[in-house]
Amino acid sequence: MLTFILIAVAVILVTIGLVKLVDKFIPSKFKPVLNIVLWLLIGYLGYQTYMSIYEPIQFNKIKNRRYAQVIESLKDIRNSQLAHRQVTGKFSKTFDGLVKFIDTAEYTITQRKDSSVIDKALTKLYGVDTPKDTVIIDTLGFVPVKDSLFKNSNRYKEMMNVPVGKEGAKFEMNAGYIEQNKLNIPVFEVLVKKNVILHDQNKDLLAQENQVISVDGVNGDALKVGSMDEVKTIGNWPKTYGSNE
């Protein structure tokens, strides 16, 4: 982009020089037409130079605003999935299942307290009452998952919908298990392609955005949270968009 701007500025300066040369050496009868052509060329190049600066600025503003909205939805989905795993031991593969879970599931509220009981084996061995330490877990009650995560909001019923970009687009979600240390560990992944979020933006700038590799950018061609290849539930956005954990 910088190269283009420098070339455009150089061409504008050369064209202005040509205007002056035309004014000095070209016969008077040709001057009006040539001057008009040259000034039109200057105007066109000036406009292109302006747009080469303006369009990336506008693209980044729109991108940042839309990414922020998408990330909020990804956080809602992640929180819902983590609750699903806490209660059921696994992640949901479908949004229908996840929404139904939020509508009906409850957290169990428990209280742990240290205590001691008589160890029958040791008491029999030593002939005297011999205590051992233990932990007693009492169930205090239940709290609806919906109230805990979303309070009075019903936005979870629409969390499968990408909030900006291509109309009608939905997040892609998958869940399953990966084997680690001979254990099957639940994993999930939710994503949406940048091409969906920024479908109506400059195609060249969008192509550049899909190839971003940067510590302060969203790397790759999608915004996502979780992974089907490794055990993680973080998002792939930088901290400039808020916590990704």
Each residue's pLDDT tens digit, 26-78: 666 666 766 676 667 666 766 666 666 778 889 999 999 999 999 999 999 99
Q: Which range marks the domain in which residue 12 is found? A: 2-55
Mean pLDDT score, 103-124: 69
pLDDT at 152: 87
Sign, Cα dihedral of 76, 78, 80, 82 = negative
Domain count, the chain: 2
Under 8 Å between Cβ of 156 and 102: yes
Residues 45 and 61 in one domain: no
Each residue's pLDDT tens digit, 121-135: 767 766 666 677 666
Residues 109 and 216 in one domain: yes
Q: Does pTM top 0.85 for this prediction?
A: no
pLDDT at 110: 47
Under 8 Å between Cβ of 192 and 225: no
100 falls in which pLDDT band (50, 70, 90)? very high
Q: How far is CA 62 from CA 72, 130, 148, 157, in A?
A: 16, 71, 32, 26
Rounded CA-CA distance 197/216 in Å is 19
Residues 11 and 72 in one domain: no
More confident call, 27 vs 182: 182
Under 8 Å between Cβ of 28 and 68: no
Under 8 Å between Cβ of 97 and 77: no
Residues 156 and 41 in one domain: no
Q: Which of 221, 102, 105 is nearest to 159 (CA)?
A: 102
188 falls in which pLDDT band (50, 70, 90)? very high
